Amino acid sequence: MTRLLLLLLFTSFSYLFSFGQGWNPVGSRAVSLANTSVCLNDVWAYHHNPGATASIRAISIGAYYETRFLTKELQTQALAVAIPLKVGVLSAGGQFFGYQQYRNTRAGLGYSMKFTDFLQVGVQGNVQTLRLGGNYGSTISGTVEAGVLAKISEKWSVGISVMNIGRQRTNPTNDRFATVLRGGFQYKPSKKVSIFAEVEKQVITKISFKGAVEYQPVQPLYIRFGAQSAPMEFALGIRYRVSGFSIDLGSKYHQTLGWSPNFGLNYQFKEHEKK
Amino acid sequence: MRKNRLLLLFFTTICSCVFGQERNEIIQQRVEFIAEQSESEELDLTNIFDQLNYFYDNPINLNNTNPDELRSLGLLTEVQITDALLHIERFGKFISIYELQSLKYWDLNTISLVLPFIKVDDRLENLHITFKDAIKNGKIEWYTRYQRTPERKKGYTPVSDSILNNSNGYYHGNADKYYTRFRYTYRTNISLGFTAEKDPGEEFFKGSQKNGFDYYSFHAFYKGGKYVRAVAAGDYQIQIGQGLNTWSGYAFGKSADIFSSKKAANLLRPYTSVDENRFFRGGAAIIGYKKWNLLTFYSNKKIDGSGINDSLTDDLEFVTTIDLSGLHRTNSEIAKKNKLSEQVIGNYVSYNSTRFNAGIAVVNQQYNQPLQKDTVPYNLYAFRGKNTTAISGDYNFVLKNVNFFGEVSYSTHSKSFAQLHGLMAILDPSVSISVIYRNYSKGYFSFYNNGFSEGSNTQNESGLFSGIKVRLAPAWSVSSYIDFFKFPWLKYQVDAPSKGYEFLVQPTYKPNKVFEIYARFRQQVRQKNSRDSDGTITPIEDVVQNNYRLNMSYKVLESFTLKSRVEYVTINRKSSPAEDGWIFTQDILFKPKKLPFDLTLRYALFDTDSYDSRIYTFENNALYVFSIPAYYYQGSRAYALVRFSFLRHCDLWIRYGTYLYANKNAISSGAEEIKGSKKSDITVQLRVSF
C-alpha cells in the first residue's frame, strides 16, 4: 500500500512533491496557515522570508515535525534559530526531508536588518544535499535566498521572497532545485485578527493562491485556518503559549491524499512585548 | 470624538436616505440582495417578501422581541441578534435607535439594512386579539396573474383527438398560465388564504381538470398564544434545525453573503407558494411551556408518480419514479397525477433561550405503495420501500462572538447518518468568518430535507465550507469562500466517486449611498463523465468552470438607477474543446416619487458557445414572481416592466420580455419547440390590498 502511494506520489502528484526539490514549507504556524507565510515575522521566517526575521528582538528557537499524508517515508523535520545582534538579526535553520532511499537536507545561515522603520531586508545562504539510496550516491550544492518585508501601515504589511535565486542545479548535469517566488500581504484590523493572502510561483509548477486567517481569542491561544490552490489543500491549527514556550499543533488536508499532521515547539528567551 | 461625530452624521444621513425611500424599493432591494446570491431558475422568496412587508408596517420593537422574530428578517446574524438581546439584559432597554451604534457587532451597513424594520419603544404592546380589532386592522391581499409565451410551441399545435390522446408530444390545455392568491393577515398572528394555479399546457375546467385549476392550496394559521403558540391547518411548512431531517420550502446555500450559509429555521409557517410538492398538508401545532416547545404535525397528500400496474386491479403495484415537476400537460403527465399518497407525521421538542437552543425531532414518512427506483448503479443507495423515520437532534448557541450550530440526523431504513456542524464568528467588527462541515452518508434519505450541500440532496456528500468577509475600509469590502466536497458514491452522469471544490472572491467598492461596484471571480471544479467514452467504462474528468463578473449600480437621481453587468464564463474539460460565454446586461430603473407608476427596463446581449456555458442572471418581475433565467446561445434579451398604482388599493404590473436569437430557426426541442428565432413572455398581475 505504501509503495503504491509512493508510486502515485512520484507520478501523478509530483507537483505536491516538487518542493521536495530543495525546499519545503516548514514551521507549524506557516503550514497551518496553508503556507501563507511570506509575511510571518517569527523565527520560522527563516524558511519563508529571509527579510522578515529582522523584527525578532529576543533569541528564539523552534523545532518542527510533520508526516505528510501520514506516510513515514515523507517525514519532514526542521529547526530555526534567530539571534538579534546590535544591528540586524542573525538566523540559522535546517530542514530534513525523506527517508533512507531519498533524503534531502538543507541548512544554512541568514542575516537580516531593518533598512528603515518600515522596510526590512535579508539574505541567506543554504547548503543543499540530496542523497539517494543504492548506488546513486549524493550531491551537494549551495543556494542563495533573499526577501523583504514592508510594514506599510499599522494594519498592512507586504512581503516578497525568492528561494534559490541562482537557479542552482541538483548536480552539474541534472534538474535544478526549485526556484520559488512569493509575494503576499498581511492585514491586521485588530490585535486579535490577522488575514493573510499570498501568491506563489515555482518555475515548473502552477501558480498557487493562498489565504489564511489567524485569530487570538484569548492571550495564550491562537487559532489558524487557511486554504491554498495548486495543490488544493486546506489547513488548520492551534498554538498555546505559556511564558516563553509555545506549542503548535496543526494539519493540512488534501482531498485525495488526506491529512498531514504537524507539531511544533518554540522557545523565546525573553519576552520583549510589553503586556 | 471627531470620529463619533462623523459616525453620527453619517448615520443621520442614512436615516434620512432610508426613510426617504419608498417601501417597495426598500424591500425589493433587500430581496434582490438575497436573490442575487442564488443561481437557480426556480426561486421562491415569497416568505422573505411577506416578512419584510409585514415588519415594514409593524417594525419589530427591539425592547420586546425574541431571537426568532429577529431571525425572520433574514438580515441579521446569530451573533448580532444575541448582541442586541444581551445589550438589553445588561444595560436595560434601548432608549433610542441610535444606541444600536454602541453594539459591538452591528456595523453601519447592518444597521442601515434593518433600520426600516425595527423600532425602539418602551411601551410594551400587550397583545389582545379581539374580533373587532381583527376585522378592523386585518390586511387583505388578492393577487391575480396571467402569464404566457405568445409564440406557439410545438406541443400546442392543433391535432385531432386521436393523435392527442395517443401521443405524449402534445399538450391538452392552452398555453396560458393563471394564478390567483387571496390572503387575509392580522399582524403575524392570523393568516387565512388560498392559492390556485394552472400551468401552461394544463387544462382548465375541462378534461383532466374538472375542478378548474390544477393546483389548489388553502391555509389557516394562528400564532401567539401563551401555551398554544401556533396552530396551522391546511397547507403549511416545517423547517427544523439545519434542514437535514425536515425542511420544506426554499433555503439558501452557498453565496457571497457567507452568513446565509447557515439556515435560520422558521419552525412552522403557513404555505402560500406554488411549488406543488415541497409543503405539508394537514395540521400542525406548537404547544409551549416557558422555554419549551413541542411541535407536532400530521400531513397527508397525494403526489405524482409512475410505476408498474398490478395486472389484476389496475392499481399501482409499486412506483418507480416520483415526479416533482407539478406539470400535468401531456397524457403521460396526466397519468402520473396523484398516483401516490404520502403521509408524514412528526414531533419536535425544543428548548429555546437567548443564547442557546436545541431540539430533538422524530419524523415518520411513508408512501402507500413501495418505491422501487431503477436498478442502475447510481441508484444503489436510493430509498426503496414504503416507510422511513428520520430522528435528529440540532443545536445552536452563541459563545461570546462565536455562534455554533449543527444537526445530526439518522435515517432508520438505511441505518445511516447525516450530520452538519458549523460556526460563524465575528472576529472583529470588520472581519467575519464562517466554517461549515457536513457529512451525509450515501444511504441517508428523508422525504423533505434541504441541508447545506453542493449536490441537490442531503445525501452522498461530505465537505467543508469556509467563508470570510472583511471590511477593509468604509468603502471597501471583500468576501471570499472556498468549499471542498466529495461524493463517496456515484451520481447521475458521474460513474465514479468524485470530488471537487468551489472558490469565490468578491471585492466590493461602495464609496457612498448611490454608487456600488463589485467584481467577482468564481471557480468551480467538479467531476463529470468524460464525453469520449468508448462505451465500456466511462472515466470521469475534471470540469473547470470560471466565472468573471463586473457589476455596477449607480443611483443617478433619487428616482433613477442604472445597473450594468458584464459576465464572462469559461469551461474547460479534457474531452471537449474549451467553451466560453459572455453576457452584458443594462438595467434602467425609473421610480418617480410623484407619479403613481414605476418602470424597469433591461437590454442584454449574450453570446455563449452552448447550454453548458450558460450564465444565470436575476430579472425583475411583478411582485412575488421570481425569475433567475439562464442566458445561452447568441442573441439579445430585453424586457420592460411597468407598475401602476391606482385607486389607493390597487397595483397593476405589466411585463413584456423577449429573446431574439441569432442563427437559429428553432428554439428548444420536443413539445417545447418554437419555430423561428424569437421567444417572448408576457406577465400581467393585479394586486388589490386593503
A167 in B contact zone (CB under 8 Å) = no
Taking residues B414-442, report their average pLDDT: 93
Percent of chain B with pLDDT over 90: 51
A152 in B contact zone (CB under 8 Å) = no
**Nearest Cβ partner for B486 among A189, A211, A255:** A255
Rounded-to-10 torsion of CA B94, B100, B103, B105: 140
Nearest residue of chain B to residue A256 (CA atoms): B499
The helix (H) or strand (E) run that includes residue B369 is strand B356-371
Averaged pLDDT score across all residues of chain B: 87
- The answer to whether the Cβ–Cβ distance between B427 and A193 falls below 8 Å is yes
Cβ contacts (< 8 Å) between A211 and chain B: which residues?
468, 480, 482
Q: A204: pLDDT confidence band, cut at 50, 70 and 90? A: confident
Distance, in angstroms, between B185 CA and closest chain A CA? Answer: 46
Assess whether pLDDT exceeds 80 at residue B248.
Answer: yes
Cβ contacts (< 8 Å) between A236 and chain B: which residues?
none
What is residue B74's predicted lDDT score, i.e. its pLDDT? 75
Distance, in angstroms, between B427 CA and closest chain A CA? Answer: 7
State the Cα–Cα distance between residues B46 and B250, nearest whole angstrom: 9
Site from B428, B468, B485, B525 to mutate, A interface, most A CB atoms within 10 angstroms: B428
Assess whether pLDDT exceeds 60 at residue B162.
Answer: yes
Q: What does the pLDDT look like over A222-239, one tens digit per residue? A: 999 999 988 899 999 999
Q: Which backbone phi and psi does B340 adopt, to 5 degrees?
A: -140, 140
Q: Which backbone phi and psi does B70 adopt, to 5 degrees?
A: -70, -35
pTM confidence score? 0.87
A256 in B contact zone (CB under 8 Å) = yes
A190 in B contact zone (CB under 8 Å) = yes
Assess whether pLDDT exceeds 50 at residue B14.
Answer: no
What is residue A172's predicted lDDT score, i.e. its pLDDT? 65
Q: What does the pLDDT look like over B335-376, one tens digit per residue? A: 888 888 999 999 999 999 888 999 999 999 999 989 888 888
Assess whether pLDDT exceeds 90 at residue B93.
Answer: no
Assess whether pLDDT exceeds 50 at residue A4.
Answer: no
Range list of β-strands (E), B34-161:
60-61, 118-119, 139-148
B277 three-class SS: coil
Taking residues A41-60, report their average pLDDT: 94
Assess whether pLDDT exceeds 70 at residue A55.
Answer: yes
Q: Which backbone phi and psi does A95 adopt, to 5 degrees?
A: -140, 145
Q: How many CB pairs under 8 A join A and B?
A: 42
Assess whether pLDDT exceeds 50 at residue B92.
Answer: yes
What is residue B401's predicted lDDT score, i.e. its pLDDT? 86
Assess whether pLDDT exceeds 60 at residue B6.
Answer: no
Q: What does the pLDDT look like over A5-32, one tens digit per residue? A: 444 444 444 444 444 477 889 999 999 9
Q: What does the pLDDT look like over B589-622, one tens digit per residue? A: 998 888 888 899 999 999 999 999 999 888 888 8
Nearest residue of chain B to residue A253 (CA atoms): B484
Tell me the CB-side half-sphere exposure of residue B372, using CA atoms within 13 A.
9
For cell 393577487, name the residue.
Answer: B143
B459 three-class SS: coil
Distance, in angstroms, between B260 CA and closest chain A CA? Answer: 20
What is residue B429's predicted lDDT score, i.e. its pLDDT? 82
What is residue B591's predicted lDDT score, i.e. its pLDDT? 86
Q: B187: pLDDT confidence band, cut at 50, 70 and 90? A: confident
What is residue B18's predicted lDDT score, i.e. its pLDDT? 39
What is residue B41's predicted lDDT score, i.e. its pLDDT? 52
Cβ contacts (< 8 Å) between B486 and chain A: which residues?
255
